[in-house]
Amino acid sequence: MTKIYVDGDACPVKDEIIRVAERYAVPVVIVSNGGLRPSRDPMIQHVIVPHGADEADNWIADEIVEGDVAVTADIPLAQRCLDKKARVLGPTGKPFTDENIGMAIAMRGLKQDLRESGEIKGYNPGFTKADRSNFLQALDRLLSSKS
Protein backbone atom coordinates (compact mmCIF):
# COMPACT_ATOMS: atom_id res chain seq x y z
CA MET A 1 0.00 0.00 0.00
CA THR A 2 1.24 3.46 -0.91
CA LYS A 3 2.27 5.74 1.95
CA ILE A 4 3.03 9.44 1.98
CA TYR A 5 6.21 10.43 3.83
CA VAL A 6 6.40 14.06 4.89
CA ASP A 7 9.61 15.89 5.72
CA GLY A 8 7.64 17.58 8.45
CA ASP A 9 9.68 20.18 10.30
CA ALA A 10 9.17 23.04 7.84
CA CYS A 11 6.44 21.62 5.61
CA PRO A 12 3.77 24.28 4.95
CA VAL A 13 1.22 21.82 3.49
CA LYS A 14 0.77 19.19 6.21
CA ASP A 15 -2.97 19.88 6.56
CA GLU A 16 -3.43 19.66 2.79
CA ILE A 17 -1.55 16.35 2.65
CA ILE A 18 -3.79 14.89 5.34
CA ARG A 19 -6.94 16.13 3.60
CA VAL A 20 -6.01 14.57 0.24
CA ALA A 21 -4.68 11.38 1.85
CA GLU A 22 -7.99 10.87 3.68
CA ARG A 23 -9.83 11.06 0.35
CA TYR A 24 -7.70 8.22 -1.03
CA ALA A 25 -7.30 6.30 2.27
CA VAL A 26 -3.51 6.62 2.06
CA PRO A 27 -1.50 6.49 5.29
CA VAL A 28 0.67 9.51 6.09
CA VAL A 29 3.97 9.42 7.99
CA ILE A 30 5.12 12.83 9.24
CA VAL A 31 8.77 12.78 10.25
CA SER A 32 10.20 15.59 12.37
CA ASN A 33 12.57 16.52 15.17
CA GLY A 34 9.60 17.24 17.42
CA GLY A 35 7.20 20.05 18.15
CA LEU A 36 4.28 18.66 16.14
CA ARG A 37 1.01 17.70 17.77
CA PRO A 38 0.26 13.99 17.25
CA SER A 39 -2.95 13.05 15.45
CA ARG A 40 -5.61 10.74 16.80
CA ASP A 41 -6.25 9.54 13.26
CA PRO A 42 -4.84 6.00 12.90
CA MET A 43 -3.91 6.79 9.27
CA ILE A 44 -1.52 9.55 10.46
CA GLN A 45 1.75 8.45 12.05
CA HIS A 46 4.16 10.90 13.66
CA VAL A 47 7.80 9.85 13.86
CA ILE A 48 10.09 11.90 16.07
CA VAL A 49 13.77 11.54 15.17
CA PRO A 50 16.76 12.78 17.20
CA HIS A 51 17.86 16.37 16.66
CA GLY A 52 20.67 16.61 14.18
CA ALA A 53 21.45 17.30 10.58
CA ASP A 54 19.58 15.04 8.15
CA GLU A 55 18.06 12.77 10.82
CA ALA A 56 14.55 13.10 9.36
CA ASP A 57 15.90 12.78 5.82
CA ASN A 58 17.81 9.63 6.71
CA TRP A 59 14.77 8.07 8.35
CA ILE A 60 12.57 8.79 5.33
CA ALA A 61 15.20 7.55 2.86
CA ASP A 62 15.58 4.32 4.85
CA GLU A 63 11.83 3.64 5.07
CA ILE A 64 10.41 4.79 1.73
CA VAL A 65 9.81 2.13 -0.93
CA GLU A 66 8.90 2.04 -4.60
CA GLY A 67 5.55 3.67 -5.28
CA ASP A 68 5.43 5.66 -2.05
CA VAL A 69 5.24 9.46 -2.12
CA ALA A 70 7.65 11.85 -0.43
CA VAL A 71 6.80 15.50 0.19
CA THR A 72 9.94 17.55 0.68
CA ALA A 73 11.71 20.70 -0.44
CA ASP A 74 15.06 19.04 0.33
CA ILE A 75 16.71 18.26 -3.02
CA PRO A 76 19.22 15.65 -1.75
CA LEU A 77 16.36 13.81 0.01
CA ALA A 78 14.30 13.99 -3.19
CA GLN A 79 17.21 12.34 -5.06
CA ARG A 80 17.46 9.57 -2.46
CA CYS A 81 13.73 8.89 -2.71
CA LEU A 82 13.82 8.86 -6.51
CA ASP A 83 16.70 6.36 -6.32
CA LYS A 84 14.28 4.05 -4.49
CA LYS A 85 11.62 4.55 -7.20
CA ALA A 86 9.38 6.69 -4.98
CA ARG A 87 7.43 9.65 -6.30
CA VAL A 88 8.42 13.06 -4.94
CA LEU A 89 6.61 16.40 -4.70
CA GLY A 90 7.86 19.71 -3.42
CA PRO A 91 5.48 21.72 -1.21
CA THR A 92 4.69 24.03 -4.14
CA GLY A 93 3.43 21.07 -6.17
CA LYS A 94 6.52 20.80 -8.34
CA PRO A 95 7.38 17.16 -8.91
CA PHE A 96 10.94 15.95 -8.65
CA THR A 97 11.61 13.38 -11.36
CA ASP A 98 14.53 11.45 -12.76
CA GLU A 99 14.47 13.94 -15.63
CA ASN A 100 14.72 17.14 -13.54
CA ILE A 101 16.58 16.15 -10.36
CA GLY A 102 20.02 16.66 -11.93
CA MET A 103 19.20 20.26 -12.81
CA ALA A 104 17.73 20.84 -9.33
CA ILE A 105 20.93 19.57 -7.71
CA ALA A 106 23.08 21.72 -10.02
CA MET A 107 20.99 24.85 -9.29
CA ARG A 108 21.18 24.15 -5.56
CA GLY A 109 24.97 24.03 -5.78
CA LEU A 110 25.14 27.18 -7.89
CA LYS A 111 22.92 29.13 -5.49
CA GLN A 112 24.99 27.94 -2.53
CA ASP A 113 28.18 29.16 -4.26
CA LEU A 114 26.56 32.53 -5.06
CA ARG A 115 25.38 32.95 -1.45
CA GLU A 116 28.81 32.10 -0.09
CA SER A 117 30.45 34.62 -2.42
CA GLY A 118 27.93 37.31 -1.47
CA GLU A 119 26.51 37.59 -4.99
CA ILE A 120 22.99 36.80 -3.78
CA LYS A 121 21.16 36.85 -0.47
CA GLY A 122 19.86 33.62 1.03
CA TYR A 123 16.19 34.56 0.83
CA ASN A 124 13.62 32.09 -0.47
CA PRO A 125 10.43 33.32 -2.08
CA GLY A 126 7.37 33.37 0.18
CA PHE A 127 4.84 30.54 0.11
CA THR A 128 1.68 31.71 -1.69
CA LYS A 129 -1.96 30.67 -2.01
CA ALA A 130 -1.16 29.66 -5.58
CA ASP A 131 1.63 27.38 -4.29
CA ARG A 132 -0.84 25.74 -1.89
CA SER A 133 -3.40 25.28 -4.66
CA ASN A 134 -0.78 23.87 -7.05
CA PHE A 135 0.33 21.43 -4.38
CA LEU A 136 -3.22 20.21 -3.72
CA GLN A 137 -3.80 19.62 -7.43
CA ALA A 138 -0.45 17.87 -7.91
CA LEU A 139 -0.93 15.53 -4.92
CA ASP A 140 -4.47 14.71 -6.01
CA ARG A 141 -3.22 13.86 -9.54
CA LEU A 142 -0.37 11.78 -8.14
CA LEU A 143 -2.59 9.72 -5.84
CA SER A 144 -5.35 9.28 -8.41
CA SER A 145 -2.85 7.96 -10.99
CA LYS A 146 -1.54 5.19 -8.65
CA SER A 147 1.42 4.77 -11.01
The one-letter code for the residue type at 25 is A
pLDDT of residue 146: 63
Strand partners, 71: 6, 89
Q: Which of 100, 106, 56 is nearest to 82 (CA)?
A: 100
**Domain-by-domain residue ranges, the chain?**
4-145
How confident is the prediction for the chain on average, in pLDDT? 89
Q: What's the pTM?
A: 0.87
- DSSP 3-state of 5: strand
Strands 69-71 and 87-89: parallel
In tens, the pLDDT along 128-140 reads 999 999 999 999 9
According to the CATH classification, is domain 4-145 in 3.40.50? yes
Mean pLDDT of 37-55: 89
**Distance separating alpha carbons of residues 25 and 44, to the nearest angstrom:** 11
**Distance separating alpha carbons of residues 95 and 97, to the nearest angstrom:** 6
